[in-house]
Amino acid sequence: MNVLARTFTVVVALTFAAAPAATMAANATATASAKPVTVDIRNFAFAPKTLTIPAGTRVVWTNRDDEPHLVVSAGHQFASSRALDTSDSYAVTFDHAGTYTYYCGIHPMMVGTVIVQ
């Protein structure tokens, strides 16, 4: 086998070997974007206070306070949570673009916003 044929064989082999890696990287990106986004309820505040997410993202609120909290949509755009005790969580999947303002039904000075793109 001459040098040109050997070089061609190596290039073709490397191309096919790299193809699965590229596919796995694309799948890893898709999986990473499907991960839920978390909002902590801590010190009588939502953290982060404002989220910007792509449509289809699941947001999970978790109460880190010793007091109960309720997640309530200001415009009735999603269902309210039950009272969340310490370490309890509540989740909503946001499928449509828009701005979703919410507050704590027990402590209405606690407010947050989810912006879905």
Domain positions in the chain = 37-116
* CB within 8 Å of 68: residues ≥ 6 apart: 83, 84, 85, 106
What length does the chain have?
117
Residue pointed to by tokens 């997640």: 71
Q: Distance between CA atoms of 111 and 27, rounded to whole angstroms?
A: 35
Q: Distance between CA atoms of 14 and 33, rounded to whole angstroms?
A: 29
76 annotated ligand-binding residue? no
The fold for domain 37-116 equals Immunoglobulin-like (2.60.40)
Instruction: Tell me the per-residue pLDDT of 31-49, one tens digit each, with 9 for 90 and over.
Output: 345 699 999 999 999 999 9
Instruction: Tell me the per-residue pLDDT of 57-90, one tens digit each, with 9 for 90 and over.
Output: 999 999 999 999 999 999 999 999 999 999 999 9
